[in-house]
Structure 1
Amino acid sequence: MASSAGVVNIRRDVDDKFYRYRMPVLLTKIEGKGNGIKTVIPNMADVARALSRPPTYPTKFFGCELGAQTSVDEKNDRYIVNGAHDAARLRELLDGFIEKFVLCRACKNPETDLVVTTKNRHEDIVRDCKACGELTGVDMRHKLTTFILKNPPKNAKKGKKKGGNGEANNGNGDEGAEDDGGGSDDELTQRIKAEAAELNTDAALAKEDWSVDTSEEAVRARVKALEGSMAAAVLAGDDEGGDDDDGADGPYGVLGVWIEENRADAGAVQVYKKAQELGIEKKHKTVLVLIQALFDTNVVAQIPTYAPLLVKMVTSEKHQKALLGGVERLVGIAHPELVPAVPKILMALYQVGVLDEEVVTQWGTHVSKKYVDKDISKRVRKASEPFLKWLEEADDDDDDEDEED
């Protein structure tokens, strides 16, 4: 079966639950037998997204390190390394990829872009760090560099090395510029702890790509729509609070509208503190509200960002059902174009450890009109079938292994 779900710090040597750079735990699934045996990495696209690298890079890196052939089907998110490889071993190799091709050599921050530089017709690859402004080279002797040069990132920046000192130009004229306001990541995490886990929004959230229109007009329109839908959403909770709680002016409606109005400035900690202030941080209806208010069409990429908040607030089967109800409303009503992405959304939630296999399997086989109308409920569950099938097949693999033992 695929390895247990969860999220980890991108730098696994950093033992800090408030470390803001997180990624899903790399999952593996062994398929085939004999000479046809292979290791499939079902969440490689999600891991690579967290690292801001194309998923082909770490996949090819594994192949280089293991001396194994790899195959990629980007359209269907299939990333394969030939042979049977232990998940723990691949995670160690991923650490190596991160060290060599992601982390800034100067400040060890993972917030870097790969840049191809050219000097005298010789191409090099450097890491352009958004945190400290340094440009640090990668080891061009590694076999992966040949693959990267032939398959540069789609948004890769090209730079020319400055004559004389061999430094690269990052393309914006700010060579080696320091970040005056951000400070190091260690300083940031210390500040978080010292200020009751409040995030440094200037340094952290300003770099988030929310991909949403934050103009006053757009926010006003979304708030108005949210006020209208929030009351209907929380009424489905049925056993927490009364009529006073369930209106747009009740605590759940207030929380939802507050999140929308403060989307650009509020992180996971602030959202939790707002729920605490309203006295609803332990209620399952709060989870229903969070899914609708926090996420938009980039939900799959956004889930790891809010994983610590979800893990803290999803504490029972009832909470998980509310979480799934929120997904139904998010993709079935707010963003119908997301229906085909339901398997990826469920996989992302499963990976961060807020969905149990039994709960999501039961949900997937029982249409309900509790949170949405029956037609939408059927449509969302139908779309979830690839994920449910993956869970079932993973169980079958476990059973086969038990029989062999």
Structure 2
Amino acid sequence: MASKTVNIRRDVDDKFYRYRMPLLTTKIEGKGNGIKTVVPNMSDVARALSRPPTYPTKFFGCELGAQTTFDEKNDRYIVNGAHHPDRLRELLDVFIEKFVLCKSCKNPETDLVILKHGRNEEIIRDCKACGERTDIDMRHKLTTFILKNPPVKVKKGKKRDVAGAADGVGGGGPPVPGSPEGEGDEDVDPGNESDDFLTKKIKAEAAGLSSTATIDNEGWSADTSPEAVKERVAALEAGLANTVLGGDDDGSDDDVNSPYSLLGKWIEEKKEEADDPKAFCVAVYKRATELGIDKKHKAITVISQAIFGAEIVKEVPLYAALFQKMVTSEKHQKALLGGVERLVGLMYPDLVADIPKVLMAFYQFDILEEEVITQWGTHVSKKYVDRDTSKRVRKASEPFLKWLEEADDDDDDE
């Protein structure tokens, strides 16, 4: 069974907050003077934070005044003494605040960068979400450990998997698209780019920049200094203001006061009272229209997460009319698949095995098209969930993809 996941910022009580991590677990081993606390899923937690697992483990030791042990080969991270899991989770929140979240926008999409000033060294957080570089309190004992064990640098010309390998290279959270790695020829779906419309435009503008510029973690060449980032944003805003204001990214589904979050919470509240699924479909559509997002593809992602539950296979026929009304493009279909991905991958992990039935239900109601499902099933993306979850969901979808392929073959034979 997949481990429970929680918001990286546990102070954000929003189930639609996209940055999530596994809930830290602990195991007490030994007795007497040899008693110790093992963190079995430290690598998974650190991967979600894009930090080496040694960093939060060492942080625990600094805060608790305890010795720590790292056995990276066997994936064992140990804090001497017996420590309650709630205490370590509280300390993890402090670590995230001090060494992960951008001090400006509170987004976890950050890299740790070591700057040298003569003989002195400084650690900063380089935020890929807002472009700000914010300092870290160098008085904390962990900074000494980080300076001696710096994050591994990304080689020039190669993209970074932001969800990160266990060594914690780089920063950024699950939603940022990464590069193919490891198994086979998996790639990130070109249609599943970052939600930030302005970032897409910046990428396009950056294509013509000098190849001698420094490499950015999004995979394009550009000067990543705060001044350069702000300059590019200002220049693009001047020419794209009208486009951005009318784009599909008005408001973020990460903002608890955005129309997307308001719609999601409204659906969750009203669903308990709804006796007639058809009438509820109409009510949801009207509410989305009132919020001005009835045509936005991100509204589909939110609705699919809020309206479905553990009985999604049985619920699809009940709410099919709503999605038939609102899913009007390939982008809407991908947004629906993204919402389903979050639902079964993060909120109801036991439902991953049922993903073929879910896809079949949407397919039979002509909500999802064969080409879109096939493309989605063969392209891993980190837009909606972390890379590992994305792989797991797509792996589970293989029986349905195979059925689609065989059905096409039969049609060709006929």
TM superposition score normalised by structure 2: 0.48
TM-score (norm 1): 0.49
